[in-house]
Amino acid sequence: MKASYCSLLFSRILFPIHFPVICLAVVFLTGCSTSTIIDEYKITDTHLDLDQGEQVVIMGRRHAGEYETEPDFINCIGGRLANGGQLKVMPEQEFLDSFYPWFEPRVAPLKLKRMSHMLKDPIIAERIKSLGVRYMVWVDGNTETTDKSGTFSCAVGPGGGGCFGFASWDKASIYEAIVWDLKQLDEKGRVKVETKGSSYMLAVGAPIPFIAQVQSDACEGIGNRLKGFFLERPAESATPTSAPKPDSERKLDHRGMIKS
């Protein structure tokens, strides 16, 4: 919306010097916004058990051809979940190397049934036990640019260089995390996050970016909710959860909207 307003200004204003000033005012007045919607489903209200020496691993899905869940995003969630050492989170790459080749994209289990089958192999089961991997969190999704508009160009001459123009782009992050309990071989819950945001680049001599932190907001949203599965949730973000429901009746129990 803001982008199209600025593009309109760009095409109609006869005196280009006014354009950046007005655009800058619009951007500063409204800011680079992101909106995040989080859906969460927990099978139980109580925190998930994690005994001494047990740990959680967060894994990205990479089996689809058209996208892959970014390793940086997985590391970001891991960092949030670790919460300064309160939870032990095994780094994804370390887990992949320890269990090579069983969790590589070609053969990684997509469903719990296949995971249970894999755990019948004593070599895999023994490694899971020795490393104390109790919960596996699979994260599927990605961040992509959904729309782009505007242009800006840069030029360099003997007397110096500079850029002029305005560009904007929208990004959307959609991720779903599923928590598997490897001891009881069942699913403990899901968190789905959708974050959208618009970024702007204004160039009047030097380019001035206004970047919406779409992926990091998605990481914060999903990381905080997952933390709530294992640890006491901070009072300001605590939301009630529903009573356990069978799989056939699975409904998302609450919807929170965070604006930043």
Kindly list the residues in this chain that would bind another protein in the complex (CB under 8 A). 68, 70, 96-102, 104-107, 123-124, 127
Please, which residue, 63 or 183, has the CB nearer to another protein? Answer: 63
Please, which residue, 47 or 114, has the CB nearer to another protein? Answer: 114
CB of 215 to another protein, least distance (A): 12
CB of 91 to another protein, least distance (A): 13
CB of 12 to another protein, least distance (A): 32
Q: What is the DSSP string of 19-76?
A: HHHHHHHHHHHH---EEEEEEEEES-SSPPP--TT-EEEEEE----SS----HHHHHH
Token representation of residue 145 = 């640019």
Length of the chain: 260
66 and 143 Cβ atoms separated by less than 8 Å:
no
CB of 104 to another protein, least distance (A): 5
Please, which residue, 64 or 154, has the CB nearer to another protein? Answer: 64
Half-sphere exposure of 43 (CA within 13 A, CB side): 13
Please, which residue, 51 or 66, has the CB nearer to another protein? Answer: 66
Cross-strand partners of 149: 168
